[in-house]
Structure 1
Amino acid sequence: MNISKDTVKETFQRETKNATSQWLGRRFQLKGVTVRAIDPVIEAITETPLLELKVKDFTVNFTITNLPYRVEMRDPNSKVYHDAKASIEGELNQLYQRSDLAANFVGCSVENFRPTGWKNETAVNSICTFMKAYGPRTFERDFVYNVFKNLTGKGSMLGKYMLDDRTLLVNGYSSEVSPVPYRKDLPFWAIILICLSVLLGFVLLFLMCFLARRRAGKYQVQQNIFGNYFPHLDMRRTR
């Protein structure tokens, strides 16, 4: 479908004209309209599908060892909560803004604080958001984890805050956690062989018990005042 420049211009002027002049919405007054045709080369380039941009959230949890937990930290409306939240968010934002992920970094937000059982410590739950492009680069939790770990002295110092390096988790991931060994399931044919072997073992055991009882029944045992007598063992009967 071919549309001329004049048609586009007339339509635009008609739709933006009011009683006195031309306005684009309620805020922008127009002084003139120019319509230019699109260069066919540019048009061909724009037909290439663009990378789909989306954001991905990562939960970043850690424990600060030089920030005593206070009851006011439970209340999001308290000054203590706001001050601690703003300070920690500032440190997190600076950390990722100077990292290799800076171009894709959106921001970090502290969600809540938790006690740890030690009066000088405070556990922090936060969410850090990154833009990700479905192209050559993807984001995984271990990548975000390693950036945090490397820029905080192996998870020991976030700005003015001292950290317990054993408590860092990104989407539940930690290099301190030993992976669960993978157990491969037995193939179906192996299970059948095992079952047949067990069944054969029971059959053989039954036959052995049956033969032993049958053989024992051939022997005669007589009891007298002198004890048990086994006639089949008496050598005198063979003469």
Structure 2
Amino acid sequence: MEEQAEAIREVIADGSVNGLIIQPQSATKLNPLIESFTCSGRPLITFGADAMTDHKLCYIGPNAYKAGRIGCQILANYIGKQGNVFTINQVHEHMQTKERKRGFLDMVKEYYPDIHPFELNIPDNSNLYYEMVKAAIVDDDLRGLFCTDADSYIAGEVLRDMGRKDIVVVGFDLSVMGERLMKDGYLKVMIEQRPELFSYNAARVMFNYLYYNEVPEKMQYSELAIITSECLQDT
């Protein structure tokens, strides 16, 4: 995050920059820099992940809280609405991680009293991700994993290496490795954010604001896609 903070400081000092589009690596810690930039009269758009400040022009990207609720509903239906599940969290300051987890846990509280959620908080290191997931699935009562970040495929690798197809994995952002694991039955559902769409929209909105004075809606949520193995049959 410090590298992103330093980049923003450089942009603040550069008077030739008319606007800024960023995906904040923290939901709160970059807010003073964001506010410093916008207080100079220049617009800032967050995309893909939000910063909790009113000083931005707008946010464009997925509704992370809603995505967490959707992920919970999917996982609950796969496991018969009962049993132990882990939410696997990495990059803890990132808005997407925080809001997906919050949406998932709220959904459990509201609708699934027989699902017992536990948290597995992993440092931003894929080697630790593998080992910590491997240690977690020794629980005989574990029914599912809800992975809140793009390293979801690593949970599938653990299940593949241990020959476990009985544990349901729901995660985010399908990769090439994730496709193979899904076809082999180790990942059940991936929620895709369609970054090419919200990235384009962020650039379009900034252009229209700077050149045509079009004031955008404050929160612009992009669509999500739900991917199962059936979606991959022709790929």
Shorter-chain TM range is: under 0.3
Hey, which of these two has a bigger chunk of helix by percent? Answer: 2
Q: TM-score, normalised by structure 1?
A: 0.25
Compare CA radii of gyration and give the structure with the larger one.
1
